Structure 1
Amino acid sequence: MNSFLRTTICAFLLSGCTSANSQSMPYKSWYLGFSAPAYMEVWIETADVVDIQDHVYPRAMSGVASMLKPPNNSGDPRGWPKRAGWGKGKYVTGADLPKQIYVRWQSLVEPQTYQMVINIPEATREIMRKGEKVFCTADGKWITGYRKAIAIRLVPGGIAKVWVTGPCMTPIEVTTVKAVIDPRGPYEGESGGKHRPLSAVSKAYVEKFGVPYGSW
């Protein structure tokens, strides 16, 4: 593990969750969501946030990432989506805009445990602050929209792609991060090396087609 990642993780462990006194964004909270390609199941052990006021929000998100599991191996996990969705997640209530996001997750089709730090630059936060007039086809109205969601897609091999998006807004890709393997294994070494089980649908797909590593 590199020294920067070790230092960042230690900061998360030693810091508490504190509410921001003032916020630099034009909405009450922003959304943190995760997705994975079809059948490529992911379990997020933790996603911890540091906002621009250096307040720490441990486990801002955890659990499963959104993923399609079409029957009869009819889905296609290859490549990146043309239009990224929000993914499964939560609003990070009380936080200002993010500075760093630490994620540790299990890639169940490999299986492997990864961890990474996503640095959010000021240019990305500026995009999240900027309102745009946009037409919502669902209700036929013009609104002032904000990209108040950070959408992270996790794929096998420890690769993560990040977008910012919002209601009726076109997603904007902001970065791609290559994670490192957590040498402790799943659950920080507290599960005896056992990852969460793979679902029968995903297992059937991987046994027949394998993991399409070269497509991401």
Structure 2
Amino acid sequence: MTNLIVIGGQALPVLKKYKKTMITLLALFLLIGCKENEPLPGDPWQVSVVMPSFYPIKITQAYGVNEEQDWTMPLHGLAQTMRKSKLEHVRTVFPDYDGFGFPISLLTGVRGRQLGSANKHLPNSIYIYWTSLINMRFFVTKYDLSPKVKELMAKKLHYIRSDGSKGLPCYRTEFFFGMLPNGKAKVWLMGCDQLIYLAELDPAREKDRDQNGVTAERYRESPYYFDTINQRAKDEGVAIEPIPWEKVGKVYSKNTVELLSEQ
């Protein structure tokens, strides 16, 4: 029987084994942490935003944050929401688009590009500040990247040719956010001819004005947004208020939507 008493300062066999196990686990955790902090081997991460044509939004600020590496990466190019959400534009990609759903495509999304040199290190969180123009509500969306999502983004895949053989290498590095007028958001990951549904998010915060300090009253003083939205509905002969929630948020995509749990 193994002696479990420490004699003369000598460690017990069972304690030695426990110590080795703890060292092994610590090394494994450190290895996982280092891998998470490695830059992406493929393209830099990107963020695109889509919205229903009848419920467009205005984005006033967006950025990624990495707390461990102590950086914040602003995203620009997200101001074209009214143009990209036009029905005639979306229907060049999805001819049967009804104006209520999410048209998920690189051609219909408003893409946020990183300022300066593209950072291939992933953020821990992505923040988007935006205005729902149909009801003048101001939201902040926050998405936290899980270790599994980071692993998917770093994994090298290949496009599949029509004959079933491997094509060029590719990575899944494009986030798509779909914004709804109640402040909720849905998030997908796109790349390698895949569209993976990640999460539905409640707003992290609702504010009384946008990130530029503009209030709902100021928005209403300029009728551009209301006139544009109402004209879209009038041209299609549909009612957009009250919001038909059974229609809002349907996904239009050239790729089948997959689940994160299936990866």
**TM-score, with structure 2 as normaliser:** 0.61
- The one-letter amino acid of 1:64's match is Q
Q: CA deviation at 1:124?
A: 0.7
**Structure 1 residues 192 and 85, CA gap change in structure 2 (3 angstroms):** closer
Q: 58, 78, 84: which is aligned to 1:43?
A: 58
Return the index of the structure with the highest Cα Rg.
Answer: 2
- The one-letter amino acid of 2:51's match is A
Alignment match, 2:137: 112
Is the 2:46–2:112 Cα contact (8 Å) retained in structure 1? yes
Identify which range, 125-134 or 205-214, moves more after superposition: 205-214
2:69 matched to 1:64? no
Is the 1:136–1:142 Cα contact (8 Å) retained in structure 2? yes
Identify which range, 60-69 or 110-119, moves more after superposition: 60-69
Is the 2:75–2:113 Cα contact (8 Å) retained in structure 1? no
Is the 2:129–2:141 Cα contact (8 Å) retained in structure 1? yes
Alignment match, 2:198: 174
Alignment match, 1:147: 172
Is the 1:114–1:181 Cα contact (8 Å) retained in structure 2? yes
Q: 193, 210, 214: which is aligned to 1:186?
A: 210
Q: CA deviation at 1:142?
A: 1.2
Q: 245, 257, 262: which is aligned to 1:213?
A: 245
Identify which range, 27-36 or 202-211, moves more after superposition: 202-211
Alignment match, 2:252: none
Q: Percent identity?
A: 20
Q: CA deviation at 1:118?
A: 1.0
Q: CA deviation at 1:75?
A: 4.7
**Structure 1 residues 48 and 193, CA gap change in structure 2 (3 angstroms):** farther
Task: Give the 5 Å matches for 1:57-136.
Answer: 57-60=73-76, 62-65=78-81, 66-70=84-88, 75-80=97-102, 84-86=104-106, 87-92=109-114, 93-135=118-160
Identify which range, 46-55 or 186-195, moves more after superposition: 186-195
Alignment match, 2:258: none
Structure 1 or 2: larger strand share? Answer: 1
- The one-letter amino acid of 1:130's match is K
RMSD (CA atoms) = 3.0
**Structure 1 residues 104 and 125, CA gap change in structure 2 (3 angstroms):** same
**SS in structure 1 of the partner of residue 40 of structure 2:** coil
After superposition, give the CA deviation of every residue in 1:114-165 in whole Å (9 maximum; x if it has no partner): 112111111111111111122267xx98111111111111121112111111
Alignment match, 1:30: 45
Alignment match, 1:53: 69
- The one-letter amino acid of 2:245's match is Y
**Structure 1 unaligned blocks of 5 or more:** 1-21
Structure 1 or 2: larger helix share? Answer: 2
**SS in structure 2 of the partner of residue 209 of structure 1:** coil
After superposition, give the CA deviation of every residue in 1:50-70 in whole Å (9 maximum; x if it has no partner): 136341113455313332423
In the alignment, the residues of structure 2 paired with residue 123 and residue 40 of structure 1 have an alpha-carbon distance, to the nearest angstrom, of 32
- The one-letter amino acid of 2:244's match is P
Alignment match, 1:13: none
**SS in structure 2 of the partner of residue 62 of structure 1:** coil
**TM-score, with structure 1 as normaliser:** 0.73
In the alignment, the residues of structure 1 paired with residue 161 and residue 65 of structure 2 have an alpha-carbon distance, to the nearest angstrom, of 32
